[in-house]
Amino acid sequence: MNAPASLPDAATVAERVGMVATAPLHAVAIRLHEAIGEVLSHRALAVFTEACTGRPQKKAGDPALTERITIGELDTVRRLLDQGVRPESAVIAGTEHPVHAYGSPTGAIMVLCEPAEPGSASTETYVRALWETAATRIHQQIAEARPDYLRESRAASSERLRVTAELTSRHEIDLETLLATLRSRELDDARARLLATEMAAAALVQVRADSGLVTSLTEEPVAHAFRRLKDDLRPLDRYGGLRIQYIEPPDNGRALPGEVAYAARAIVTSALLHMRDQDDVTRIRVQWNCDGTNLLASIRDDGEGDVTPGHPALRLLTARATALGGHLDVEAIAGWGSKIDVRIPLDPPDPPDTAAHTWDLGPRETQVLRLLAAGRRNRQIATDLGITENTVKFHTSQIYRKLGVTSRAAAAALAAPIL
């Protein structure tokens, strides 16, 4: 391991902090890796944030590590940091490595793999300052819900499929190990049952943890997302001289993809602030609903009906909705108030049927493969498509044959990048 370098001068420090503070999301890890590497050598760097639903991992450094780091490994480090434990080593890319891990108030974490020992307390302070700047920048960009970020998040569904395939593959290995234990001729029945029971219990715990992780990375219950909106708006309601009336969405409404939840909160908050700036507005009603296909948001004021679609603030809100394939309407009636209605589809547009052309799949086979790669089981696929489980099994066997694979995990891993 190389010895740590000395800290740069004040002008260079300011330049490096500025470089990180202005980094777009896709470049945050690269800029951190470069800036930190000048004072603290390390083999690889990984950032993990659940809030960034499009690509929760951001990595830079040795490809032998960065291409194999998993979401589960980073989430394990995050849980330790949440418990007040700063691990000195962790499983990264399937192998134990020395690490330096850093949390943040925003919930994001940074992990340095195989770092040198800091040369001084000032080195550690400098690294922390860079990381906190980056964590704040990430949080800012997500909260702003800029149209380009929303488009990128929606386009990154293949990353979520890859995460699901990664976890599915791990559970497949657990089951194969379990079967090998039960079939072993070197173990007596009692010993085989004991080992199999222990492995099954550990695997079940991991399945439940991974299921929660995948859900948290991909979607948010609509009622929970609305409560977060109310928390964001509480200062206005309490101290802003404005009465906000909330019409709650149904508790059993379909969960929202992360980028839809963030966009909806950003749109409603900005619309409400714009309406508040009118004269004579004392009350605003905020309503969310979910029809199973779209998130429907409505913001209505009791002003004089002065809100116009051409205002620059509303053009940005329209761009946010459009970035996710949605629509925003403004209705203003003189003397009666203004209303903004937003519709955001929960699912991205159907991608081109690249899979169908690559493997000569039929339309129904393509639908089954897409749901299979998303982690759905046969019963769920049958329910989603309105067919029987036996029909799903038939399509699955045809898909395996055409893809040249023999398992769900293999099919998901092969198909995820192009679905």
Chain segment 73-83, per-residue pLDDT in tens: 888 899 999 99
| CA distances to 42, 229, 255 from 233, in Å | 42, 6, 21
C-alpha atoms less than 13 angstroms from C-alpha of 285 in its C-beta half-sphere: 11
Residue-wise pLDDT tens digits, 249-268: 988 778 888 778 888 988 99
Residue-wise pLDDT tens digits, 145-199: 666 666 656 655 545 555 555 566 566 666 777 777 777 778 788 888 788 787 7
In this predicted structure, the answer to whether residue 231 has a pLDDT above a threshold of 80 is yes
Share of the chain above pLDDT 90, in %: 27
- Residue 294, strand partner residues: 345
**Amino acid letter at 301?**
D
Go through the chain and tell me how many residues it has: 419
pLDDT of residue 2: 47
What CATH number was assigned to the domain covering residues 10-144? Answer: 3.30.450
Residues 6+ apart with CB under 8 A from 74: 46, 48, 57, 109, 111
Fold equal for 10-144 and 222-345: no
Q: How far apart are CA 138 and CA 55, in angstroms?
A: 12
Report phi then psi at 184, rounded to 5.
-65, 135
pLDDT of residue 103: 94
Q: How is residue 5 annotated by DSSP?
A: P
Q: How far apart are CA 236 and CA 277, in angstroms?
A: 12
Q: How far apart are CA 178 and CA 174, in angstroms?
A: 6
Residue-wise pLDDT tens digits, 342-372: 999 988 765 555 656 668 888 888 888 888 8
Q: What is the DSSP string of 153-197?
A: HHHTHHHHHHHHHHHHHHHHHHHHHHHHHHH-SSS-HHHHHHHHH
pLDDT of residue 209: 57
pLDDT of residue 148: 62
pLDDT of residue 391: 92
pLDDT band at 3 (very low <50, low <70, confident <90, very high): very low
Q: What is the mean pLDDT of residues 393-407?
A: 88
Residues 6+ apart with CB under 8 A from 183: none
Answer yes or no: CATH 1.10.10.10 is held by domain 354-418: yes
pTM for this one? 0.53
In CATH, what class is 222-345?
alpha beta
Q: How far apart are CA 368 and CA 382, in angstroms?
A: 9
Q: Where do the domains of the chain lie? A: 10-144, 149-216, 222-345, 354-418
